[in-house]
Structure 1
Amino acid sequence: MHEKIEIETEYITLGQFLKLANIFESGGMIKGFLQEQGVDVNGEKEHRRGRKLYEDDVVEIDNAGSYIVASKK
């Protein structure tokens, strides 16, 4: 089951999403993690912090869990 992370806008960048989900302590940790390991977005490996995520996109992070983008609308 995916943990829902709600956003108030049409989209959110991957870096902002990871910070909102409280998985990492700082933006620097997010940057380093994405450069070295990356995460799966809708089943594809992603390393870009600026990747836009929209409602129903699924982000899977090794050893941290699975998250889905949900709209607060």
Structure 2
Amino acid sequence: MHELDFELDRDFIELNQLLKLVGICDSGGAGKAIVASGAVLVDGAQELRKTCKIHAGQVVQIDDIVIHVHAAE
């Protein structure tokens, strides 16, 4: 299991953009394709909405990568 921390500097980030910013994919479009494939879990539940709003405190998982989203201080 590979764990990443992402510092959120706004109210939310769209799921496909989060995947791009942490380096899981090269573009937002590639992020949308990953989400559409059903491979992404948000707080333990499958998420198929490509632009789902991810807020501080949520956990995103894809394969063996876990992303912990934290609020910027």
The normalised TM-score by structure 1 is 0.85
4+ residue segments displaced more than 3 Å: none
Q: CA RMSD in A?
A: 1.5
Q: Mapping of 1:1-73 within 5 angstroms?
A: 2-63=3-64, 65-73=65-73
Q: Name structure 2 gaps, 5 residues minimum.
A: none
Which one is further off, 44-53 or 29-38? Answer: 29-38
| Amino acid paired to 1:67 | I
What TM-score do the two structures reach when normalised by structure 2?
0.85
Q: Residue type matched to 2:27 in 1?
A: S
Spell out, residue by residue over 1:17-44, the C-alpha distance to the aligned partner (whole angstroms, 9 max, x if none). Answer: 1111111012221121111233010010
Give me the identity figure in percent: 32
**5+ long unaligned stretches in structure 1:** none
What is the number of equivalent residue pairs in this alignment?
Answer: 72
